[in-house]
Amino acid sequence: MSIVLVDAGGTNIGSVRYALQRLGVDAALSADAAGIRAADKVILPGVGAAGPGMARLRELGLVELLRSLTQPVLGVCLGMQLLCAHSEEGDTECLGLVPASVRRFVEAPGLRVPHMGWNTLVARRPHPLLTGLVEGDQAYFVHSYAVPLGDYSLASTDYAGAFSAVIARDNFHGMQFHPERSAAVGAKLLQNFLEL
């Protein structure tokens, strides 16, 4: 099985790659369109802001390629947000693969932004990506923007209201949290993706 990590400049690429190595998978790091298209599975990691993230994908000539992929694709953190239609962050047009607009958390007393730390994942509907997820399982989040709930939401987390923690639409999947920093739960969900 060939796994490609899209080399779009996300600072979490190394840690995602290491998490996959712990699962016995050596993922190639690539910005090469032919290599990405030929992979069995594609992972779009990302940390940072939506505008520069999309600018980097355009610069690499990967926007239309990513939109055309038919194999399982996983967006992680910012990578998940980039799968959506639009982000309020920098008023950015994203890939448009999931019909959602990414919104900034509204700051309120006692509510820190960015949302940072361990939070509980709540399954909203059955999906192979969530196999083995049990009540009370937690994942590690670091983000200021979130994807609202919709029919694409597989799991949610509550931080001043529920938002999408795991999404899927067709062959495109996303995890808002960092599975590579989420201990056994993150490893399990990454393994589930590899088995899709």
Q: Which of 64, 86, 178, 195 is an active site residue? A: 178
| Annotated catalytic residue 178 | yes
Q: How far is it, in rounded angstroms, from Cα 157 to Cα 139?
A: 9
Q: How far is it, in rounded angstroms, from Cα 86 to Cα 92?
A: 6
Q: What is the pLDDT of residues 148-188, one digit of tens each?
A: 999 999 999 999 899 999 999 999 999 999 999 999 999 99
pTM summary value: 0.96
Residue ranges covered by each domain of the chain: 3-195
Query: What is the third-level CATH fold of 3-195?
Result: Rossmann fold (3.40.50)
| Annotated catalytic residue 86 | no
Q: Which of 88, 135, 180, 195 is an active site residue? A: 180
| Annotated catalytic residue 84 | no
Q: What is the pLDDT of residues 124-140, one digit of tens each?
A: 999 999 999 999 999 99
